[in-house]
Amino acid sequence: MENTVVSATNFNAWFGDNHVVKDVTINIEKNQCVAVMGPSGCGKTTFLRCINRMHELIPGATAKGSMKLYSDEIYTMNPIYVRYKIGMVFQRPNPFPNLSIYDNVIAGYKLNGLKVPKADLDNIVQKSLTSAALWNEVKDSLHKKGTFLSGGQQQRLCIARAIAMEPEVILFDEPTSALDPISTSSVEQLFHELKEKYTLIIVTHNMQQAARVSDKTAFFYVGELVEFDDTKQMFTAPSDVRTQNYITGRFS
Partner 1 sequence: MDARIGIRNTKSILFKSFIIFLAFVVTLPLIIVLLYIIKQGVMQVNWHFLTHVPAPEGEKGGGIANALVGSLLIVGMSSLVAIPVGILAGIYLSENPGTKLAYYSGLCVDILQGVPSIVMGIVVYFWIVKPFGFSAISGSIALAIMMLPIVIRSTEQTLLLLPPSLKEAALSLGVPYHRVILKVIVPCGFAGILSGIILSIARIIGETAPLLFTALGSNYLSTNVTGAMESLPHLIFTYATSPYDDQHDLAWGASFILLMFVLILNIVTKLITRKWKIQL
Partner 2 sequence: MDKNKRLDLSYSQMKWETIFKRILSVMSAIIVIVVAGVLITLVVESWPSIKSLGIGYLWGKVWDPVNNIYGAYPFLIGTLLTSFTALIISIPFSYAIAIYLGEYNPKGWLSDLLKNTIELIAAVPSIIYGFWALFVLVPVVRSLETKIHVAPYGVGVFTASLVLAVMIIPYAAALGTSLIRMVPSPLKEGAYALGATRFEVIRSVILPYTRSGLFAGILLSLGRALGETMAVTVLIGNTSAIANTFKDIFFGPGNTMASVIANEFAEADHALYLSALIELGLVLFFVTVIINLIGKRIITRYTNN
Q: Which residues bind partner 1 (CB under 8 A)?
A: 52, 54, 57, 59, 80-84, 87-88, 90, 92, 94-98, 107-108, 110-113, 158, 161-162, 165
Site mask, partner 2, residues 24-63, x = CB under 8 A? ----------------------------------------
CB of 146 or CB of 167, closer to partner 2 = 167
The interface partner of residue 182, options being partner 2, partner 1, none and the CB cut-off 5 to 8 Å by kind, is none
Closest by CA position to 67, among listed 5, 127, 124? 5
Per DSSP bridges, beta strands 199-203 and 33-37 are parallel
Burial class (CB in 10 A: 0-12, 13-18, 19+), 96: middle
- Binding string to partner 2 for residues 109 to 128, with x set by CB under 8 A, is what? ---x-x-x------------
Q: Where are the beta strands (DSSP E) in the chain?
A: 4-15, 18-29, 33-37, 61-69, 72-73, 86-89, 169-173, 199-203, 216-221, 224-230
Tell me how far, at minimum, the Cβ of 208 lies from partner 1, in Å.
26
For the CB of residue 98, give the shortest distance to partner 1 in the complex, in Å.
5
47 contacts 21 by C-beta, under 8 angstroms? yes
87 binds, among partner 2, partner 1, none (CB under 5 to 8 A by kind): partner 1
Amino acid at 225: L
